[in-house]
Amino acid sequence: MARRNLVLGVALGLLGAVAAVPALPGARATDEAQIVPDITKLRYVGQGYFTSASALPAADDLGAVLPLLTPDGRFNPSGAYHPFDTNVFEVLALPYRAAGDQFADDPYGNGGDPRHGFCGGDPRSARERPGDLAFLAGECPNHQLEYLDYYETTMADILGGFGVTFHRYRFENPGSDNTQAGAAYNAAAVVPGASHPDETVIIGAHYDQTNDGPASAWDSQEGHAQIIRVAKLMADYWTATGTRPAATVKFIPWDGEESGALGSADYVDNNVVPGQEFSVRSYWNTDPCAGGYPAFRFGNPLDRVDLGIQLANIRPSDDLLALDDTMPPAAAEERFRRFNAKAPLLVEQVFDHLDDTITLPGGIRREIFVSSAEAAADPLRYPFGGDIGPGKDVVLGTSRPILFSSDWRNFERVGIPFFNPGPDITGPSSQLELGNPDALVVLHTPLDNMRTLNAYAGGPLDGSRFAEGWIKGMEMCAHLLAWGMLQPEQAGATPVNDDVVAYYEALPNEARAGQAVKFDASGSHQRISGRPQAGHLEYRWDFGDGTEGNGAVVNHVFAQPGVYESRLTVRDPRTGSTDEMVVPITVLAAL
């Protein structure tokens, strides 16, 4: 979660009744073939391998996690890729990730410091970081490249049945006072849509960290741990319903967020096709989500930390000054309005589906995830109503932290709606609410650690055991994000068949005349015997400039400036089954 010193607009307050969600201008209509969403197919796993009865291991205790790794390096002792388990593994085994990693074989661990939030040293690093807290926190091995390998191996296991491919979008991070410069990578696990492969739904959370908080447990460990669980929930849902996504889904841990949301900015500026912002149906952000609700602050039953769900700021059309691309402000405003109007219903549906409790000091059990419908049906049991709405524990709206921002802002500025759940721990907001400014002394410091956060989220005050509220909060957050992304107007779920699926990326999609553009159709596939396969397919390219090509991956140079409609046709030569996808390529004059 990056700090910034800019108030991000004036909020309009809470959003009202849920509206219908018709097709938006410039986007295809929702697939009629999609199944009716069924939330009962999402399996809630309250606690995984690490539970509220588990003792907190020392920060250098690799014995708590490494024996549980699979032979190929995945961590899934619960069988469900529980997000809290993933969080614990990454804190202990891959505690620091930043740009400029020079070695892809750094040993697991923090260099040998038993204190949470600190590092014992990295003898292979030559970095010097005067002027920040790194001298206090210590030097960790840089696990940026190791994390990328681990993430791709994990997501291949989860999404392999749905034609997943991987892309590492590279950019250069210039660094800052408390971040590291060098090569940075956005790591995308891409599942092509069966019906609308040219339209995408994106979930993101950054995996880079600051030098001041090199072994953080909250910002950013938690967010990308939830991405893995969201992928598992969605894959299990598609499997249980005999479906696959209608639109393409990209699961992208961002790099460079702590330097100013650079990774997501690079993606939006260089990977979203100019003039095609409507093709990105939505963006879902988690940075972090849990750690507050449903937990009580330091276990105090009178002091719950709210969950604030941020949505795009709907302003008068002529005031959408941040829009710096080609979408008309009025169109963006309408798009935001329709997306935001459905968000409260999605949250209510998830809370109606989940049923759980947490234990407060003294052994008192408190119900959590109480929907408005549950409260209305049993007013004696819930005299104060449900957990969602104005003045409640879960608040949806357009309020913004004054001192912090995150990757969602890069999508909002080009007219892409977003959903960003997070604990209200960042202090003053754009609605002049004080909130709990705990982040000001925790985030980006050695205090962002497992011991501190377990105490904060209602575990023992010495942080010696994992906090039940934090564990269950992470699972709840994954359900919020997965259920939203599974909606028919989002990624959806369309019945599985044996049709060919054509999918490609063309990068850069805003090129210069004489510059090679890489056309990569490795995500195209066809299901045979229940598995995505591609080795038998034929690929024909029409680059839109009068030339053609063949092959799954080709490079092409456009000689003249212009906008070219590139087209891929993928064919099964045995049956004649084909599919097509079109991507516009903008070519500027040569420098």
Number of domains in the chain: 2
Peptide bond into 508 cis (omega under 30): yes
Region 518-539: mean pLDDT is 94
In this structure, is residue 68 part of a structural domain? Answer: yes
User: In this predicted model, what pLDDT tens digit does every residue of 470-502 receive, in sequence order?
Assistant: 999 999 999 999 999 999 999 999 999 999 999
Same domain? 510 vs 382: no
Answer yes or no: are the C-beta atoms of 343 and 15 closer than 8 Å: yes
Which of 455, 447, 463 lies closest to 133 in space, CA to CA? Answer: 447
**What string of H, E and C letters represents the secondary structure of 505-539?**
EEECCEEECCCEEEEECCCCEEEECCEEECCCCEE
Distance in angstroms (rounded) separating the CA atoms of residues 556 and 472: 49
Q: What is the mean pLDDT of residues 348-362?
A: 95
Give the pLDDT confidence of 373-413 residue by residue, as tens digits: 999 999 999 999 999 999 899 999 998 888 788 999 999 99
Could you give the 3-state DSSP secondary structure of residue 108?
Answer: coil
In the structure encoding, which two tokens stand for residue 9, read together?
Answer: 């607009």
Residue closest to 203 by CA, chosen among 256, 269, 281: 281
Whether residue 554 sits in one domain with residue 439: no
> Is 352 a residue whose pLDDT tops 90?
yes
Range of the domain at 203: 2-24+38-485
CA–CA distances in Å: residue 575 to residues 197, 499, 551 = 22, 10, 19
Strand order in the sheet with 196-206: 165-173, 182-191, 247-254, 196-206, 280-285, 418-423, 307-311, 394-397
- Same domain as 509, residue 442: no
Chosen domain end from 439, 460, 485? 485
Q: How far is CA 502 from CA 425, 498, 580, in A?
A: 44, 13, 6
Q: Residue 28's pLDDT is what?
A: 41
Within a domain: residue 390?
A: yes
Both 398 and 543 in one domain: the answer is no
Q: What is the largest CA-CA distance in the chain?
A: 75
Q: Is residue 213 part of a domain?
A: yes
Decide if 254 contacts 144 (C-beta within 8 A).
no
Asked whether residue 388 falls in the same domain as residue 517, the answer is no
Q: Tell me the CB-side half-sphere exposure of residue 331, using CA atoms within 13 A.
A: 17
The lowest-confidence range among 125-139, 372-386, 524-538 is: 125-139
Angstrom distance (rounded) from CA 170 to CA 160: 24
Co-location of 452 and 524 in the same domain: no
Q: What is the pLDDT of residues 69-122, one digit of tens each?
A: 999 999 999 999 999 999 999 999 999 999 999 999 999 999 999 999 999 988
Q: What pLDDT was estimated at residue 362?
A: 86
Residue 71 lies in a domain: yes
**How far apart, in whole angstroms, are the C-alpha atoms of residue 226 and residue 239?**
20
Residues with Cβ < 8 Å from 535, sequence gap 6 or more? none
> Would you say residue 198 lies in a domain?
yes
Say whether pLDDT at 293 is over 70: yes
- Count of positions (residues) in the chain: 591
Same domain, 449 and 537: no
